[in-house]
Structure 1
């Protein structure tokens, strides 16, 4: 197995520094019509340094440098929904990359996977668009449900 086919520092940094920013651009484009409804928004990258691999050395810390990060992703926070007559609210939504030893999955949480890729596989534009579209549709559905409850 070569270095690009397993989870390690290089493959984790590739996802964090290249794939996540590109995914964030696609998501931002998809949610631009919703953004004016809120006072503020944040879309940021995350690295989970808390979750340990059950098979790992218990004394080894979880870090990108050690190549043993289990999860990374994007977090969106829409703050202060603004509409006359409606109570303000915030919405938070994640896109999670769950990193296994030879591959990773992408989905809205730990349990749902929309795509599985091996570390050496390049991302196609259509994959970015499909994930961003699906994620944005879920966000709009959640927003719609929140508004229906307020009505």
Structure 2
């Protein structure tokens, strides 16, 4: 069955896939989050990037099925450690929504995975993406600490 980007396919990612990924990411970062004053992991939807190929001026929304990107945004605020300067860290995990598939990666230029809409995520896929992304977060924290 061939599905394209529409309200249902976007909602499925937003309501089913993102929470499962967020849960795994949170578990992977349990050793890191207490080092910060505040920690947020929230779902994001890009409602400002227009589809270059779309001819309509319809408002960009999940409702209209024309969102180009969604994902997760991690905010780690106020690093606390003896002798280290306080810093914040922000990182996205982006789902770039193409017409008949979507790509997952840490930014617009990196693709870790491509999937057709409505194809179930396996437990291994969820774990792999969560681990890979969490490792990047930890690397960035380490780099910041080494640079201080």
Aligned match of 2:18 in 9, 17, 20? 20
State the distance in 2 between where 1:89 and 1:63 align: 33
CA distance in 2, matches of 1:91, 1:108: 14
Mapped to 2, the partners of 1:77 and 1:112 lie a distance apart of: 20
Displacement of 1:58: 4.2
Q: Is the 8 A contact 2:68 2:98 kept in 1?
A: yes
Deviation at 1:84, TM superposition (A): 1.4
> SS of 1:95's equivalent?
strand
Q: Secondary structure at the match of 1:80?
A: strand
Cα distance in 1, alignment partners of residues 56 and 8 from structure 2:
22
Q: Give the match for residue 113 of structure 2.
A: 115
CA drift of 1:57 comes to 2.3
Gaps of 5+ in 1: none
1:1-151 to 2 correspondences below 5 Å = 5-150=3-148
Q: Distance in 1 between matches of 2:57 and 2:130?
A: 37
Give TM-score, length-normalised by structure 2: 0.97
Please report how far the alpha carbon of residue 65 of structure 1 lies from its aligned counterpart in structure 2 after TM superposition. 1.1
Name stretches of at least 5 consecutive residues in structure 2 with no aligned partner.
none
